[in-house]
């Protein structure tokens, strides 16, 4: 089927205000990882009103909505949980105000990533209006628990429900650029055992606090030694200590237990095993006699009570610049907006770690709003971006058919 860019753009413009109002409504219903029930119910209602051919909730609590009935699956994804608000005094407005003013929508999740969800619903409405009946079943996935455990929702969909896309589009914020990958990540825990004694004679014991301090400095040094990928696209791996904890019999004693927790970003070619061994060697080289290094598990129940546990490891992913999915995105961008798309990558992590990282399904990103807005106070999204993304999502199925 041919992409009629003029009609798609006209529809996106006609629905511009309603897209912004939808985003406002979604923001007003708070939802953190594991507590998304009310927001999913709202989104289900919005999808039904938009005229999707099928709307259903899966066993974990993700919402899936479909337009078209083609043999191939094209999936657009928005996680609909957000991080918490943090220090409320840093917010100029109520984080859940959903204020629409001066071309902006305000509130927690406006960019990360409820703006993508609102544009997806409008795109489904556009495709329905246009009577899309091409090669794709176009699915819109409103997924849960990403902020706690990115990709868990898609690991569940693919491995437990057998719902496997042919192509996948994340609507995380990209400033309306096409992204084709990002570094992976993992969480690492290192534990130390000392010997406690009375604080009046610390020489009698072995302080786990000093072990933790040496380990933290070793990780700081390790970060400077990590390398970039061969082509420089994703950049270097990084590691940082995000938590230090020491415990003992009392506050008047040398602590006998220590722990440091680390956030590790993985560039192309870096693996879980490599990263764990790097940490172990760096800590031992810093003079710590013994250390236990592990990757923690995530096993929190979803809002439906379902547990789908996994280790906190999220593989790196990218696809080539000349992949048909990237080319289709570029074609849709040129046809709809009359300009060449910028192709780049995210700094942070997305559900692509499961879809492309674990399961090798071709994936790109295109989303409203800026990555810098994620997790920040006074989060906003541009209504211009919402309109543009709605048009892009509606146009991409047609552009993909032209690539065949």
Helix (H) or strand (E) holding 76: strand 72-79
3-state helix, strand, coil split of the chain in percent (to 5) is 35, 25, 40
Q: Strands, E, within 238-345: which ranges?
A: 238-247, 257-266, 292-294, 297-298, 310-311, 313-314, 317-318, 343-344
Residue 27 near residue 105 (C-beta atoms within 8 A)? yes
Neighbour count for residue 230 (Cβ, 10 Å): 10
Q: Choose, from 58, 112, 146, 330, the residue flagged as catalytic.
A: 146
Q: Choose, from 81, 147, 330, 385, the residue flagged as catalytic.
A: 81
- Strands of the sheet containing 72-79, edge to edge, are 54-57, 63-67, 136-143, 72-79, 167-170, 363-365, 178-179, 343-344
Those residues whose C-beta lies under 8 Å from the C-beta of residue 391, and which sit 6 or more positions away, are 8, 9, 11, 12, 123, 126, 336, 337
Distance, CA of 345 to CA of 338 (rounded, Å): 22
98: left (phi over 0), alpha (psi -120 to 50) or beta: left
Distance, CA of 163 to CA of 123 (rounded, Å): 21
Neighbour count for residue 25 (Cβ, 10 Å): 17
Neighbour count for residue 228 (Cβ, 10 Å): 13
Q: Is 112 assigned a catalytic role?
A: no
Distance, CA of 352 to CA of 73 (rounded, Å): 16
Apex CA 365: angle with CA 302 and CA 77, to 5°?
30
Distance, CA of 229 to CA of 35 (rounded, Å): 38
Tokens of 3: 């992409």
Residue 81 near residue 147 (C-beta atoms within 8 A)? yes
Q: Is 146 assigned a catalytic role?
A: yes
Those residues whose C-beta lies under 8 Å from the C-beta of residue 273, and which sit 6 or more positions away, are none
Q: Which residues are catalytic?
A: 81, 146
């Amino acid at each position: 089927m041919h992409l009629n860019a003029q009609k798609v753009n006209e529809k996106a413009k006609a629905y511009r205000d309603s897209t912004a109002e939808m985003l406002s409504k979604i923001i007003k219903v708070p939802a953190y990882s594991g507590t998304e029930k009310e927001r999913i119910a709202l989104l289900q209602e919005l999808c039904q009103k938009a005229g999707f051919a099928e709307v259903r909730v899966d066993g974990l609590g993700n919402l899936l909505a479909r337009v078209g009935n083609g043999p191939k699956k094209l999936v657009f994804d928005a996680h609909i949980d957000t991080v918490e608000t943090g220090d409320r005094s840093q917010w100029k407005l109520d984080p859940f105000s959903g204020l629409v003013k001066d071309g902006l929508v305000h509130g927690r999740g406006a960019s990360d990533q409820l703006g993508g969800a609102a544009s997806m619903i409008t795109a489904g409405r556009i495709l329905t209006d246009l009577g899309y009946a091409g090669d794709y079943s176009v699915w819109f996935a409103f997924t849960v628990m990403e902020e706690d455990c990115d990709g868990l929702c898609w690991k569940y969909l693919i491995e437990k429900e057998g719902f496997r896309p042919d192509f996948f589009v994340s609507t995380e914020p990209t400033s309306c650029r096409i992204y084709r990958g990002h570094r992976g990540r993992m969480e690492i825990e290192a534990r130390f055992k000392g010997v406690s004694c009375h604080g009046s004679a610390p020489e009698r014991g072995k302080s786990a606090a000093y072990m933790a301090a040496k380990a933290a400095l070793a990780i700081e040094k390790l970060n400077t030694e990590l390398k970039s990928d061969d082509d420089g696209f994703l950049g270097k791996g990084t590691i940082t200590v995000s938590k230090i904890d020491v415990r003992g019999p009392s506050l008047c004693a040398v602590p006998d237990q220590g722990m440091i927790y680390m956030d590790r970003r993985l560039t192309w070619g870096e693996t879980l095993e490599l990263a764990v061994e790097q940490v172990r060697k760096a800590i031992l080289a810093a003079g710590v006699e013994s250390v236990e290094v592990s990757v923690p598990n995530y096993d929190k129940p979803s809002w439906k009570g379902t547990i789908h546990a996994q280790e906190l490891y999220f593989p790196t992913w990218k696809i080539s610049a000349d992949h048909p999915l990237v080319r289709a995105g570029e074609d849709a961008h040129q046809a709809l907006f009359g300009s060449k798309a910028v192709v780049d990558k995210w700094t942070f992590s997305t559900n692509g770690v499961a879809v492309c990282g674990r399961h090798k399904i071709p994936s790109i990103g295109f989303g409203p709003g800026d990555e810098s807005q994620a997790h920040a106070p006074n989060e906003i999204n541009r209504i211009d971006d919402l309109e543009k993304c709605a048009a892009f999502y509606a146009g991409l199925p047609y552009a993909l058919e032209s690539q065949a």
